[in-house]
Structure 1
Amino acid sequence: MSSTSTEQLSEQLAATTLLRFATAGSVDDGKSTLVGRLLHDSKSVLTDQLEAVEHASRSRGQEAPDLALLTDGLRAEREQGITIDVAYRYFATPRRRFILADTPGHVQYTRNMVTGASTAELAVVLVDARNGVVEQTRRHAAVAALLRVPHVVLAVNKMDLVDYAEPVFAAIAEEFTRYASELGVPEITAIPISALAGDNVVEPSAHMDWYGGPTVLEHLETVPVSHDLTACHARFPVQYVIRPQTAEHPDYRGYAGQIAAGAFRVGEKVSVLPSGRTTTITAIDALGESVDIAWAPQSVTIRLADDIDISRGDLLAPAADAPATTQDVEATVCHVADQPLTVGQRVLLKHTTRTVKAIVKEIPSRLTLDDLSQHPAPGQLVANDIGRVKVRTAEPLALDAYADSRRTGSFLLIDPADGTTLAAGMAGDSFATAKAVAEAAADDDGWDF
């Protein structure tokens, strides 16, 4: 490729938008085959990758390349014919760039789907046309709703095995749409496909002339991307304090990090949380240059007018739009560790760049994803459980509600003994009252606060 064409391609890719999406579905619904077909037919697979898949397929006695092997990279996955870990793939078309997370379908890997879908703007839920909507389909729809994924695509796969019958597709689409709508999923698009044959994946199907909607790729390329972080509440978690101590700038003090959401301007009045002190932005440095404004997700250094005690984990926010701080966190969590989460357990809570000690004070309920009922007071959460928790932290946190910001409304619970991630949390809107805070007992060991 010539340097001119390389530059043109770079400019073209820079001008395209980015879509993060995840795939989910029951075992053997064909997720990995769909992803492989999508990559293959959109010409996003390198020659050596395709040759490796063809060789692996022949060694397993298959005449045609098994496109699922493009994403199922672990040896255990290939041996069992299932997806176990989240597989990330990056590809692009002239219209858009993509980050794809292929998530497992097994019930015991629900936590992996939470990982893959946590940053997704779209989820593709696959259904086998022969089986219709099953328990795991409802589970994946519920997880997408809990994570507030704004767009859901129902891909009714293996239409070739039901003679491309429109009534079969229509019945599945109607049932899933009704269920997902009850969950609050804002947008649902149903597409009949055959991942194995390539029908309606990249190219329109010649077997389903009754379908007049987009192919999977066409929908992915045209769906509105709604993750404009510049329109959110402005938040800047401090990652590092810069004090160069040079002769040219002997008093330089800057606060470096990545803007999580919104935009910041020179001259703007900001609050420093959790202390609540206010000051004014005097300068913003980005890539060695001074700028008047910076926005998410840029990495910048912010300088302030006043000498305030600020360290890693503090949060800058516009003074007129600063979140409330709290030590009592109520949230929905997905438990991802093999060891259970129990009432009274000592944990670490990591929110943006801040990590504090905490105690699990209560587990009010566990969600049954099959019918969305609440199992009260389960006592503990085990791997793949989703439930409500109440956590008391040693220090105040500036948490947004997850409904307002997926970036600053999420957190992790971590085992302080070995650093294992225990649960991924989504903060709720309600917190304990000041009276409950005042009544919390303190203990000398620094944990029972």
Structure 2
Amino acid sequence: MTTETTNTHADKAYEAEALIGQDIDAYLLKHQHKSMLRFITCGSVDDGKSTLIGRLLYDSKMIFEDQLASLENDSKSVGTQGQEIDFALLVDGLAAEREQGITIDVAYRFFATEKRKFIVADTPGHEQYTRNMVTGASTADLAVILIDARQGVLTQTKRHSYLVNLLGIKNVVLAVNKMDLVDYKEERFNEIVADYKIFADSIGMSAFTAIPISGLAGDNIVDKSVATPWYTGPTLISHLEEAPLNDTLMAERDFRMSVQWVNRPNLDFRGFSGLITSGTVRPGDAIRVLPSGKTSTIKSIVTMDGDLEVATVGQSVTLTFNDEIDCSRGDIIAASDAPPEVADQFEATIVWMAEEEMLSGRPYLLKIGSNTVSATITEPKYEVNVNTAGQLPSKTLKLNSIGVCNISTSKPVTFESYSDNPDMGGFILIDRMTNATVAAGMIHFALRRSQNIHWQAVDVDREAHAAQKNQTARLLWFTGLSGSGKSTIANLVEKKLFAAGKHTFLLDGDNVRHGLNRDLGFTDADRVENIRRVGEVAKLMTDAGLIVMTAFISPFQAERQMVRDLFTEGEFIEVFVDTPLEVAEQRDVKGLYKKARAGNLKNFTGIDSPYEAPANAEIRVNTVEMSADEAADLIVEKLMAL
């Protein structure tokens, strides 16, 4: 590229002169009220996503002279068009991306035209980075799905199209790229569009706009190409400038706002702050706070710039009510005559994003809007084969897998189906121990049984049962490796408490598997369900006023915490029978370690399945340092002192 060409491009660089001196205010005023379109580019590897975005940045004059010089130095000549700029390098920022010539992370770039501002996400094409693609698509108004004109519709094209449709992106552009490499043949373009339409119809994609382009040569990107006189549709930029925004569509729906903060600067003011996700609101409007169902009317709409007469989707405001009603963070303020649903069980599609596979029955944190609750997931109804849109049987979900499951939450949540309102139907799942996001989900509908099952109040409660027995109901949860002495010590503890006149019951791991849990194996998922069932049974027994003892390996901290959460503070007492693996293996009373070492017993804790030792157990005993009887005496002594 010549110096003259470089200077010419720099002279045109996105109104750069407006940024000099006093003109900056005029520049900001001109552009601050433009609408913003968020869109993604996706498709198979080497379809030209990064090149297209680089071309958009270049043609919209978003590259300054120093960037252009650096890009020229980093580029490799593509030869066929005499073009020396590799536009993909503007987007592929990771060293690994440049080395491999692929996109790995989601790259966000900003550019603008005279009519609109844009944020574009370049999403990876490889199947192993599906979670990255879902992240990029979650906030998009539009998707540009690229197809290499030489290759046609590929498996990854279908995969990304399915995900785009799943995530509710209604505005789809089918950009048939690299038309220059097929001599701009209309027949090839029509063939690809027809093939894609067959697949689009099969997944319920109602419409798409097909545009023949060349990201490298710039055909039909900004200006109409003379090489495609047979194409009469819009250029890519003109279509992006006119595409409807999600905020515009959501403004026509019923009013919804998720409360993020209760604003109480003094005793004279109490407001509820949040982002309006749909509809509009005015002073005097009747509203309903969910899940409580309390009603009131809007007194004022408060902002830093003064009170508003109307507020709409996308605005962050503080609302005040004419009545003193309860409203907290996580609640939804909605139009009184058209409230969203409230339920604690629903069906959802889940995209699994963690290296560790999903365990049905394990408690996770579910974050929907500003509300966070505990939730458990059922075994998947089916896993989706994204390449064919078919349904596969599955007991779990692994990294990048997509499945349909039922979810149960610890308390009712307010929601709408994701297809109607992504902000109120989309959620993430968080691992309780690591706080890592493990999945993204989209709610379909509430389960009918969640509306039909209600808690029945009883007159003789757990306190009355315990008082009749002259004791405090508790759960002693014995945990430790196989052979640590859990069952022996728990049995001795029960005998001592029984002799002292206490009402007790012992739930032993092996005994329970003969009946209640006889259908469960020893996979991680089965272990989780085993502990969940035992925890619920133990809770019922403590409701009867009993002192309950359980002796289970219960290897995972998350499941022990799940059971702990069923009880009020002080009722759950974790007893860690701390015995080193080598000592437990030497005892091998049941011969289980020998079988596990020989490979005849799979998923055995301590050998090929992990044991997560308690970090802060209420009681810890070491059977190397004391006998079983001494350990039992210590546990009883500490229990009586509580």
**Normalized against structure 1, the TM-score is what?**
0.92
The aligned residue for residue 157 of structure 1 is 177
Write the deviation string for residues 105-147 of structure 1: whole angstroms up to 9, x where unpaired.
Answer: 0011112111111121211111111111010111111111111
The aligned residue for residue 399 of structure 2 is 383
* Identical amino acids, percent of aligned pairs: 45
Write the deviation string for residues 151-183 of structure 1: whole angstroms up to 9, x where unpaired.
Answer: 111111112222222211110011112211332
Question: In the alignment, does 2:257 pair up with 1:236?
Answer: yes
> How many residues matched?
444
Write the deviation string for residues 221-277 of structure 1: whole angstroms up to 9, x where unpaired.
Answer: 2233353132122111111112212xxxx3321111211221222222222111122
Point out which structure has higher relative CO (alpha carbons under 8 A, 6+ apart).
1
- 1:53 and 1:306 map into 2 onto residues whose CA distance is 61
What is the DSSP-based 3-state SS (H/G/I as helix, E as strand, rest coil) of the residue aligned with 2:433?
coil
Which structure 1 segments of 5+ residues have no match? none
- 2:29 and 2:207 map into 1 onto residues whose CA distance is 31
For the 8 Å contact 1:359–1:447, the answer to whether it is kept is: no
- 2:78 and 2:214 map into 1 onto residues whose CA distance is 22
- 2:242 and 2:270 map into 1 onto residues whose CA distance is 45
- Picking from 200, 224, 240, the partner of 1:180 is 200
Which of the two has greater helix per residue? 2
The aligned residue for residue 296 of structure 2 is 279
Worse overlay, 63-72 or 419-428: 63-72
The aligned residue for residue 78 of structure 1 is 98
| 1:8 to partner: Cα distance | 4.6
Q: Which amino acid aligns with 2:146?
A: L
- Picking from 46, 61, 66, the partner of 1:28 is 46
Structure number, greater radius of gyration: 2
Question: In the alignment, does 2:36 pair up with 1:18?
Answer: yes
In the TM superposition, 1:197-346 aligns within 5 A as: 197-228=217-248, 229-245=250-266, 250-346=267-363
- 1:184 and 1:60 map into 2 onto residues whose CA distance is 39
**Normalized against structure 2, the TM-score is what?**
0.66
The aligned residue for residue 88 of structure 2 is 68
What is the DSSP-based 3-state SS (H/G/I as helix, E as strand, rest coil) of the residue aligned with 2:132?
helix
Write the deviation string for residues 291-315 of structure 1: whole angstroms up to 9, x where unpaired.
Answer: 2322221111111233333221111
- 2:246 and 2:348 map into 1 onto residues whose CA distance is 24
- Picking from 376, 394, 398, the partner of 2:410 is 394
Change in CA separation of 1:137 and 1:327 when aligned onto 2, cut-off 3 Å: same
For the 8 Å contact 2:344–2:409, the answer to whether it is kept is: yes
Q: Which amino acid aligns with 2:59?
A: D
Which structure 2 segments of 5+ residues have no match? 1-17, 457-531, 540-562, 568-642
| 1:187 to partner: Cα distance | 2.5
Question: In the alignment, does 2:107 pair up with 1:91?
Answer: no
What is the DSSP-based 3-state SS (H/G/I as helix, E as strand, rest coil) of the residue aligned with 2:324?
coil
- 1:436 and 1:422 map into 2 onto residues whose CA distance is 30
- Picking from 131, 144, 163, the partner of 1:143 is 163
| 1:404 to partner: Cα distance | 1.1
Change in CA separation of 1:136 and 1:298 when aligned onto 2, cut-off 3 Å: same
For the 8 Å contact 2:60–2:111, the answer to whether it is kept is: no
What is the DSSP-based 3-state SS (H/G/I as helix, E as strand, rest coil) of the residue aligned with 1:408?
helix
Change in CA separation of 1:58 and 1:133 when aligned onto 2, cut-off 3 Å: closer
- 2:148 and 2:288 map into 1 onto residues whose CA distance is 52
What is the DSSP-based 3-state SS (H/G/I as helix, E as strand, rest coil) of the residue aligned with 1:342?
coil
Question: In the alignment, does 2:382 pair up with 1:362?
Answer: no
What is the DSSP-based 3-state SS (H/G/I as helix, E as strand, rest coil) of the residue aligned with 2:173?
strand
Write the deviation string for residues 36-95 of structure 1: whole angstroms up to 9, x where unpaired.
Answer: 011111212232222222222269999812110111111111111110011111111001
The aligned residue for residue 423 of structure 2 is 407
- 2:376 and 2:454 map into 1 onto residues whose CA distance is 13
